[in-house]
Structure 1
Amino acid sequence: MTKKEQVKRQPLGCSNQGEFVKHMEEKSKQLGERASGKRNGFAEDKTLQSIINLSMVKDKNPDEIAQIWNMYFASKNTISAVVPGATFELMRSRSQKCPTFLYALPRETGYEFFVGQWSATELHFSSLINVQSLGENSPSQLVIYHYPDLQKEKGIVLLTAEIDRTFLSAQDAQCLANEAQLFYATDCQRIINLVEAFNHKPSDFKHMSVIAEIEQHGIGGQLMRDGSKQT
């Protein structure tokens, strides 16, 4: 237990709080520009129509569309989900005010930090180690796509992702997607304050609070299965 606590005190890609805050202040502009950087060969302007024929689902109800969407990705090594429109609207609204956040991905030796940067309806992730060394040139290792094409008519937003499997697995991607919903779709003021502090008051941000929240909510230990419906 002592060894486990020591590991948690020094997650991968981060040293102590003072150095971390200094780094965040120095890199804040670069973090804001990162989402427009390299994509590692990921598709650009990937539309929903390029994945499914929208005319074929216009007469389907939300549950039927969800079944079609998840069945389509069932055999693919990625993630998919159907997000309630109201949930995504809350996430999008908060992402406009707080586009960047720090996520902790559980590893065998502790946690690895990833920076998530919103760009419209896309959420780009790159490891903190990459951001520290490459700044705005750090490539995206995961891009989560949210498709609001059916939000107004059907009340749902479709989600999928592209993953750089050199660094991340589908399970890793699912964990980060779950964390994004935890931090951006919450009603908990404590969590909201944490996201706001990272974006606007980095000196008040404590990176260990991120780990505390995901452990409290059981993220990482009990990941949602690929293709499950987020609520």
Structure 2
Amino acid sequence: MEKRSDLKQERVGLSKQEEFIRLMDTKQEKAESSSSPSAGVSGKHKTLDSILNFDLVQDKTGAEISQIWTQFFSSKDTISASIPTETFELMQTRAKSSPTFLFALPRSDGYEFFVGQWSDLQLHFTSLINLKTVGDHAPCQLMLSHYPELKHKGVVLMTAERDHSALGVHEAQCLANQVQLFYGSRDGAYRLVEAFNYHPEEFKHMDVIAELEQSRVVVAT
């Protein structure tokens, strides 16, 4: 999060990139003004071309696109990421095989559990308490949207929509970090995802907490 604060202060460095970010702002403002306001997460997947002008990134490297994307969203009340193509493809393969997992969000008095459910390029989060209370009618409180259109550049872009009354930016970032930990790492954390999906009798929620605490995932404060 310290890096996030630094990005807000940092200039992109190239005038063409700064102009590109202004154009991104304009496209997003038009998209937002054309949609009706609603409470919580809409669940609608915006297309990448509603945010980016592809013509302006054809001559840019993946690193340059990542910098522009991060710089643009650092001033927004949301989270974003630029995921290496290889990592995202591993995440997608695993998501198709094991589409659901139980994530642990640190709170001041312990942990709150959220169920993450993949649906193609989206990952929807709902608190476990909501699922227990209202079942299938439980609202989505965080949705991560992934855009693979530029994966040939070596990057897959991600941004999010959250229910502001349920999750802060730090908390959304913590859950997003865990997605790469459990679905994208090669250090064995994925075994818990497999157990949750295929061997529920062997799954222990405390193992998720232990993995989270042993990792370098930034926790919410």
Per the normalisation by structure 2, the TM-score is 0.79
Residue among 199, 204, 207 paired with 2:205: 207
Match of 1:173 in 2: 172
2:43–2:140 contact (8 Å) kept in structure 1: no
Match of 1:195 in 2: 193
Secondary structure class of the residue paired with 2:201: helix
List structure 1 segments (4+ residues) > 3 angstroms apart after TM superposition: 220-223
Secondary structure class of the residue paired with 1:204: coil
> In the aligned structure 1, how far is the partner of 2:218 from the partner of 2:61?
32
Alpha-carbon distance, 1:188 to partner: 2.5
Q: Is 1:133 matched up with 2:133?
A: yes
Alpha-carbon distance, 1:117 to partner: 0.4
**Structure 1: where are the runs of 5+ without partners?**
1-38, 224-231
Secondary structure class of the residue paired with 1:42: coil
Alpha-carbon distance, 1:43 to partner: 5.2
Match of 1:64 in 2: 64
Secondary structure class of the residue paired with 1:203: coil
Secondary structure class of the residue paired with 1:115: strand
> In the aligned structure 1, how far is the partner of 2:63 from the partner of 2:137?
40
Alpha-carbon distance, 1:88 to partner: 0.2
Q: Which amino acid letter does the alignment assign opposite residue 57 of structure 1?
A: V
> In the aligned structure 1, how far is the partner of 2:86 from the partner of 2:219?
27
> In the aligned structure 1, how far is the partner of 2:98 from the partner of 2:203?
13
CA RMSD of aligned residues (A): 1.6
1:214–1:220 contact (8 Å) kept in structure 2: no
C-alpha distance after superposition, 1:17-63 (max 9, x if no partner): xxxxxxxxxxxxxxxxxxxxxx9352513111111111111111111
> In the aligned structure 2, how far is the partner of 1:43 from the partner of 1:56?
28
C-alpha distance after superposition, 1:54-94 (max 9, x if no partner): 11111111111112111211210111111000000000000
**Structure 2: where are the runs of 5+ without partners?**
1-38
Match of 1:76 in 2: 76
